[in-house]
Structure 1
Amino acid sequence: MGKLDIITIVIIAANVIVSYKGFGDFGFFEKYKFNIGAIRRGEQIRMFSSGFLHADTTHLFFNMFALYLFADQVLYEVGQYSFFIIYIGSLLAGNMLSLYFHKNEYHYSAVGASGAVTGVLYSAILLNPQQPYYFLFLPPRIGDIDLGIPGYILGIAYLLYSIYGMKKRIGNIGHDAHFGGAVGGYLITLILVPHLFKTDILMVGVLALPILLLFVLRRSGKI
């Protein structure tokens, strides 16, 4: 990885400052976390503020590390201003999908930048779908075998897992926020970089398949 861009530093700093404020101030944490009941009472700021709070330092570290890994790829393609729009738009899209899926669960709460980070990840994949991704702590090759996974396969697999996680409610994880963030990253990137419809229409369609699958499953009442 190269030198961190200033916009990435600002976003990471904001997450660290707000999260650490929440770690030490329970009232602050409760006031600004994502909570269905509070949002439906009109506290819309939680749709935004919850994306900068985290449950603990491990949660914060992994989200910021993932942002560090993928931010430069998107920044290189779209620039700082568009990157910021993708990040914030994905954050809000993730929380909007969570609100939609849990709208009648008034005690449902969540925190974290996962939706925003997943949006950046899906944007990076859309912009460079063939780029290989490698597992941490494993060598890139074993003999003549390249262990890299093409981005579009990683992206589709991740969203399929998110659908499964939503259906089965696996773990204390906001799978719907992850999925919504990816949708936000996908759509906003297409709006900002419309030439993708001409230069890589096949991958635009392929990466839309999990999104269409979720729509079909939701319409059929299976999720």
Structure 2
Amino acid sequence: MTAGMITLILILVTVVVSYKGFKDHFFFEKYEFGVDKVRLYRDYKRLVTSGFLHVNWMHLIFNMLALYFFAGSLSRALDPFQFLLIYFASLIGGNLLSLLIYKNQGDYTSVGASGAVCGAIFANIALDPNSTIMFFIIPMRGWIFGLLYIGFTIYGVRSKRDNIGHEAHLGGAMIGMLLAICLEPDALMQNYIYILIIAIPTLAFIYLIITRPHILLIDNLFYNRHKDYYSIDHKYNEKKTSQQQDIDKILDKISKRGINSLSQKEKQMLKDFSKK
């Protein structure tokens, strides 16, 4: 099976799973990336499954078109296993960076294949920085596109004017570029200037996010501006108590009005609780 075929399968599976998520709210919540779901409940599958969900059709179409166009040239340089390695490592790496940055914001959630797609894009740039990329109708060199994209992402992280997981983009991009260099070491010798032009500001910004988040108005593991720090045990116990209170209310409702009086959400909560 060629990397091109694998790309089409990835797109098909992502479209099907995303469509299921559009229609089924409980399915969406079960597989989305969530800080507390990963940290407190160790639901590590969400690091991968969230990449097959999207917020809406525009989000899905944009990511899949980007994957389709950029994966073509990347698949010619790498074998199917290498392509899949870059795709999923970038997806997981992007989510891990988000997990680190938002470690103290347990309700933070995100979905989308953006981290994986960015990994594929920047792997392609590392291997062929002078390839022509069509930005809408504007042709530009790959390394110029990469630099502009990193600049836009840094601005997005700093401004916080949208709900896009820009941090996952940065993490995925750097993982994709690093893996491409590891798989094709000659690329570093041939394209080191372009790689450094993109990598230096990106890594410097990631360092700032982690060590000096107050500059970016972000709460994370190393800095917490808005609230006292709660340990993972405190958060776990607080959540457990809250969940038990909710279940007690549901059971009390059943005893008074019968199980048919429960809403769909209450039935799902009871079902989920019974599995623990």
Q: Which residue type is aligned with residue 8 of structure 2?
A: I
- Determine what percentage of the aligned residue pairs are the same residue: 39
TM-score, normalised via structure 1 length: 0.89
Residue 96 in 1 paired to residue 87 in 2? Answer: no
Alpha-carbon shift at residue 18 of structure 1 (Å): 1.2
Q: Distance in 2 between matches of 1:105 and 1:185?
A: 27
Q: Distance in 1 between matches of 2:183 and 2:161?
A: 34
Deviations 1:101-147 (A, max 9, x none): 111111111110011001111111111111222332x3xxxxxxxx5
* Structure with bigger RCO (C-alpha 8 Å, 6+ apart): 1
3-state DSSP of counterpart to 1:55:
coil
Residue 19 in 1 paired to residue 18 in 2? Answer: yes
Report what 2:181 is aligned to.
190
- Mapping for residues 61-210 of structure 1, pairs under 5 Å: 61-136=61-136, 138=137, 147-210=138-201
Q: Is the 8 A contact 1:34 1:47 kept in 2?
A: yes
Q: Distance in 2 between matches of 1:172 and 1:69?
A: 25
Q: Distance in 2 between matches of 1:22 and 1:214?
A: 33
Q: Distance in 1 between matches of 2:111 and 2:8?
A: 20
Q: Is the 8 A contact 1:196 1:204 kept in 2?
A: no
Structure 1 portions without partners, runs of 5+ = 139-146
Q: Distance in 2 between matches of 1:166 and 1:213?
A: 14
Report what 1:50 is aligned to.
50
Q: Which residue type is aligned with residue 8 of structure 1?
A: T
Q: Distance in 2 between matches of 1:59 and 1:168?
A: 20
Q: Which residue type is aligned with residue 5 of structure 1?
A: G
Runs of 4+ aligned residues of structure 1 deviating over 6 Å after TM superposition are none
Alpha-carbon shift at residue 201 of structure 1 (Å): 2.2
* Structure whose alpha-carbon radius of gyration is higher: 2
Report what 1:7 is aligned to.
6
Q: Is the 8 A contact 2:3 2:79 kept in 1?
A: no
Q: How many residues align?
A: 212
3-state DSSP of counterpart to 2:135:
coil
Q: Which residue type is aligned with residue 91 of structure 2?
A: L
3-state DSSP of counterpart to 1:133:
strand
Deviations 1:162-186 (A, max 9, x none): 1121121121111001111101111
Report what 1:59 is aligned to.
59
Alpha-carbon shift at residue 211 of structure 1 (Å): 2.1
Q: Is the 8 A contact 2:129 2:191 kept in 1?
A: no
